Amino acid sequence: MSESSFIARTSGLKTKDYIGYAMIDAAGCLVFSLVTTLLQKSYTDIFHLSPLFIMLMFIAARIWDGINDPIMGRICDTVRPGRGGRYRPWILYAALPLSLSAVLMFYKFPGLGEPGQLTATCIYATVTYIFFGMAYTVLQIPFGSLASVVTTDANERSKLSVWRSIGAALGSIPVLLIASFAYAKRLDANGNVVLGENGKAITDMQYGPVIRGVVIMAVCSFVMLLIAYTLNRERVKTKPQNLSKGAAGRAVKLLFSNRAFVSVSLISMLLLAGQMFTQSFYTYLFDDYFHANWMNLASQACTYSPMLVMMFLLPGMARRIGKKEVCAVGVAAAAAANLLLFFLRGMAPEKLMWVFLALCLVSGIGLTTLVMQLWAMVTDAIDDIEVKTGSRDDGTAYSVFNFFRKLGQVLSAVCVNGALLGMNYKYDKGAVQTLGNLKTMYDLATLIPAVLFAVMALMLFVYYPLTRRKVEELQVKKEHKLREHYENKSIDI
C-alpha cells in the first residue's frame, strides 16, 4: 500500500459530489438570506418593532445558541452513525423545520404590529426567530462537519469550499428580487405621493410581496435539501467519539488552545458581521438615502458576480500562493474600497450611486477570496489540531465555529440597530427621515464595514498561522495520522 493510499482512497470527488455539496448551502442560504436581507426591515417597517428591542432579541437568541450549539455538536460526534452516515442524515432532519420556521418569522397574523399588541408582537418575533436559529443549527453544524468525511484531500477540500461559496451565492440571489420589488410609493389620503425633506418620494416595504416571496423560497429550500441528501456520500466512516466524563470540555479546550482555529473563527465572525450589516443596512440606505431600491439587486450582483471568475482562478491561486496569503490581500482591498466610499460622502446621491456600485464590485472581488476559501481554512485548522493532539471532534469543532459565526450575527445586530438608534431612525408608521439622519446613515453604512474588514485583514496577515508551506507539511502529517486511525480501527474506509 503506497504512502498516499489512505488519502487517495478517501478522495476522488466527481462533479456530482461538488454540486450536491454546494446544493446544501444553496438551500440553507435561500432562507438564511431572508434573515440577513429582509428580516430587519420587516421588523421595523411591517411589525413596527423598535431597533432597541430587535438588538436585545438578537443578543438573547445568541445567548441561547451558546447552550444549543455545543449540544448539537456533541450529538453529532457521539451518536452512532446510521446507514446514511454520521452527518448526512441531518440534512433530512432539518429540511422541514427550517423551511417552516422561515415562513413563520415573516408571517403577520392579524393584529400583530398594531397599536396595543406590542407585547404579543415581541413574543411572536422572539419565539419564531429562536425556532429558526435552532433549525438552522441542526443543518449547519453537521453540514460543516460533512467536509471532513466527504474527502481528506486538501485540494479537493479547497474546491469544496469554492463550490460551497457558489452555492451560498446562488441561494442568496433570489431574495434580492423580493428586496427590489417589495416597495411601493407612499400615498397620502388624497392619493398623492408623499415626499421627504430631500424632495424624493418615500417608499414603504409591502407585506404581500414579501410573504409570497418567502413562502416560495422556503418551499424551494425544502426540495433542494431532499435532493442534496441523495447526492452526498461519506467516504470516511467514523466511529462514535469519547463519551467519558469531561470529554466535551477537553475537546473545547483543545479548540481554544489552537491558534489557527481561534483566528479563523474570529475572522469568520467578523466576515459574517460585515456581510449581514451591509445586506441589512443597505436596504435602508438604498430606500431612504438613494431612493433606488433597484440598487439592492445591483449591489449584490457586484458582491457575488466575482465568484463567476474566481471559481476558476482561486483554487490554483490558493495552491500556488496560499489560502492565507490570497485572502489577506483580498480582504485588505475590500476594507480600502469601503473606506474610500466613506471619504466620498460629499458627492450628490445621484452621482454617488454609480461610484458606490463600482466600489462595491471592488469590495466584492476582495471578499470573494475569503468567502470561497473560508471553509477549507476551517478544515485545515481542525487537521492541525488532530495532527498535534491526536484528537478530532468535528461536530464539536463546527459547533464552536458556528457559535462564533452567530456572534457575528450579534455584532451585526448591534451595528445595524446601534446605527439606527444613533441616527435616530424613525420607525413609526408613516415616519419620514430627516436630512441629518440620512447623512449619518451613509457615514455609518460605509465606515462600519471598512473597520470590520480592516481588522480581518490584520488578523490574516499577522495572527492566522497556516501559510502555504505549513498546509503542505500538514497534508503529509495527516496521511500518517489517517494510517494510524485506520490501523487502530477508529475509522473505516
User: Exposed, middle or buried by CB within 10 Å (0-12, 13-18, 19+), for 321?
Assistant: middle
How far apart, in whole angstroms, are the C-alpha atoms of residue 120 and residue 133?
Answer: 20
Q: What is the pLDDT of residues 448-492, one digit of tens each?
A: 999 999 999 999 999 999 999 998 888 788 777 767 766 666 655
What does 108-126 look like in DSSP terms, one character per residue? --TTTTSTT-HHHHHHHHH
Average pLDDT over residues 307-324: 87
How far apart, in whole angstroms, are the C-alpha atoms of residue 266 and residue 264?
Answer: 5
Tell me which residue has cell 438578537.
58
How far apart, in whole angstroms, are the C-alpha atoms of residue 168 and residue 40?
Answer: 20
Residue 284 pLDDT > 90: no
Asked if 493 and 9 count as a contact pair (C-beta separation under 8 A), the reply is yes
The helix (run of H) or strand (run of E) holding residue 492 is strand 491-492
In the chain, % of residues over pLDDT 90: 41
Asked if 421 and 52 count as a contact pair (C-beta separation under 8 A), the reply is yes
pLDDT of residue 147: 80
Q: Which one, of 358, 359, 198, lies nearest residue 290 by Cα? A: 198
> Cα–chain-centroid distance for residue 297?
18
Q: Which one, of 214, 189, 297, lies nearest residue 46 by Cα? A: 214
| SS3 (DSSP) at 350 | helix
pLDDT of residue 6: 67
All three cell numbers of 404: 462564533
State which CATH number among 1.20.1250.20, 1.10.3720.10, 1.20.140.10, 3.20.20.70 fits the domain covering 5-492: 1.20.1250.20
Average pLDDT over residues 30-55: 89
Q: Which one, of 221, 287, 269, 244, lies nearest residue 38 by Cα? A: 287
How far apart, in whole angstroms, are the C-alpha atoms of residue 402 and residue 22?
Answer: 18
Q: What is the pLDDT of residues 183-201, one digit of tens each?
A: 888 877 777 888 777 777 8
pLDDT of residue 486: 64
pLDDT of residue 1: 39
Q: Which of 42-46, 95-99, 145-149 has the lowest mean pLDDT?
A: 145-149
Of the pLDDT bands very low, low, confident and very high (cuts 50, 70, 90), residue 181 is confident
Q: What is the pLDDT of residues 146-171, one digit of tens each?
A: 887 888 777 788 788 889 888 988 89
Residue 106 pLDDT > 80: yes
CA 100, 105, 108, 114: dihedral to nearest 10 degrees? 160
- For the question of whether the overall pTM of this predicted structure is more than 0.85, the answer is no
pLDDT of residue 3: 45
Q: Where are the domains of the chain?
A: 5-492
Asked if 141 and 398 count as a contact pair (C-beta separation under 8 A), the reply is yes
Angle between helices 306-320 and 323-343 (to 10 degrees): 140
Average pLDDT over residues 400-425: 86
